[in-house]
Structure 1
Amino acid sequence: MVSYGQKMFTTTDVGDVLALEYSNYLNLNEIQLEHKSVVMDFTSLLDSSTFGFGVDYTNHSLDFDDYNRYHNYADFEELHSIEIYARYKMNLVNNWDLNITVAPYLSSTLNESMSSEDVVFSYATNFIKTWDNDGLKSTLKLGAGYGALFGKPNFYPLISYAKEVNKKLKYEIGIPVTGIYYQVNEQSSFDLKAEPESIYANNAAAFSLENDEVLRNSKLEFKAITLGLGYKFRFDDNWSTYFNMGYVMESELGISENDNTVYDFGSNESIALNIGISFNLNKK
Structure 2
Amino acid sequence: MVSYGQKMFTTTHAGDVMALEYSSYLNLNDVQLDTKSVTIDFTSVLDKPTIGFGMSYTNNSLDFVAYDRFHDYSAFEELHSIELFARYKKALRNNWDVNVTVAPYVSSTFNEAISSDDFILSYAGSFTKTWDKDGLKSSLKIGAGYGSLFGKPNFYPLLSYSKHVNDKLRYEIGMPVTGVFYKLNEQNSFDFKAEPESIYANNTSDFSMTNNEVVYNSELEFKALKLGLGYQFRFDDNWSTHFNMGYLLASELTLSENDNTIYDFDSKESLSLNIGISFNINKK
User: Is the TM value for this pair above 0.5?
Assistant: yes
Other-structure match for 1:139: 139
The offset of 1:36, in angstroms, is: 0.2
Partners of 1:46 and 1:175 in 2: how far apart? 29
Aligned pairs for 1:154-165 (under 5 A) are: 154-165=154-165
Other-structure match for 1:209: 209
The offset of 1:235, in angstroms, is: 0.3
Partners of 1:95 and 1:68 in 2: how far apart? 57
The CA deviation string for residues 65-113 of structure 1, in whole angstroms up to 9 with x for no partner, is 0011100000000000111100111111111011000001110000000
Other-structure match for 1:24: 24
Q: Does 1:90 align with 2:90?
A: yes
The CA deviation string for residues 185-221 of structure 1, in whole angstroms up to 9 with x for no partner, is 0000000011110000000000011222111110000
Partners of 2:78 and 2:93 in 1: how far apart? 47
Other-structure match for 1:71: 71
> Which segments of 5 or more consecutive residues in structure 2 lack a partner in the other structure?
none
Other-structure match for 1:42: 42
Partners of 2:138 and 2:7 in 1: how far apart? 19
Partners of 2:193 and 2:137 in 1: how far apart? 20
Other-structure match for 1:193: 193
Residues 205 and 106 of structure 1, relative CA distance in 2, 3 Å threshold: same
Give the 3-state SS of the residue equivalent to 1:113 in structure 2: coil
Amino acid at match of 2:58: T
The answer on whether the counterparts of 2:29 and 2:265 sit within 8 Å (CA) in structure 1 is yes
Give the 3-state SS of the residue equivalent to 2:87 in structure 1: strand
The offset of 1:8, in angstroms, is: 2.9
Other-structure match for 2:148: 148
Aligned pairs for 1:225-244 (under 5 A) are: 225-244=225-244
Q: Give the superposed CA RMSD.
A: 0.9
Partners of 1:167 and 1:211 in 2: how far apart? 61
Give the 3-state SS of the residue equivalent to 2:268 in structure 1: coil
Number of residue pairs matched by the alignment? 284
Other-structure match for 1:60: 60
Partners of 1:7 and 1:171 in 2: how far apart? 19
The offset of 1:9, in angstroms, is: 1.6
Partners of 2:259 and 2:157 in 1: how far apart? 22
The offset of 1:274, in angstroms, is: 0.2
The offset of 1:118, in angstroms, is: 0.3
The answer on whether the counterparts of 1:147 and 1:155 sit within 8 Å (CA) in structure 2 is yes
Other-structure match for 2:255: 255
Give the 3-state SS of the residue equivalent to 2:198 in structure 1: strand
Other-structure match for 1:127: 127
The answer on whether the counterparts of 2:5 and 2:104 sit within 8 Å (CA) in structure 1 is no
Partners of 1:13 and 1:250 in 2: how far apart? 27
Residues 146 and 260 of structure 1, relative CA distance in 2, 3 Å threshold: same
Partners of 1:274 and 1:96 in 2: how far apart? 34
Amino acid at match of 2:183: Q
Amino acid at match of 1:230: G
The answer on whether the counterparts of 1:18 and 1:40 sit within 8 Å (CA) in structure 2 is yes
The offset of 1:4, in angstroms, is: 4.3
> Which segments of 5 or more consecutive residues in structure 1 lack a partner in the other structure?
none
The answer on whether the counterparts of 1:3 and 1:149 sit within 8 Å (CA) in structure 2 is no
Partners of 1:77 and 1:277 in 2: how far apart? 26
Partners of 2:86 and 2:3 in 1: how far apart? 16
Amino acid at match of 2:124: A
Other-structure match for 2:10: 10
The answer on whether the counterparts of 1:200 and 1:221 sit within 8 Å (CA) in structure 2 is yes
Other-structure match for 2:116: 116
Residues 156 and 172 of structure 1, relative CA distance in 2, 3 Å threshold: same
Partners of 2:270 and 2:82 in 1: how far apart? 26
Give the 3-state SS of the residue equivalent to 2:179 in structure 1: strand
**Percent of pairs identical after alignment?**
71
Amino acid at match of 1:26: L
Other-structure match for 2:268: 268
Partners of 2:8 and 2:236 in 1: how far apart? 24
Give the 3-state SS of the residue equivalent to 1:102 in structure 2: strand
TM normalised by structure 2 equals 0.98
The answer on whether the counterparts of 2:87 and 2:100 sit within 8 Å (CA) in structure 1 is yes
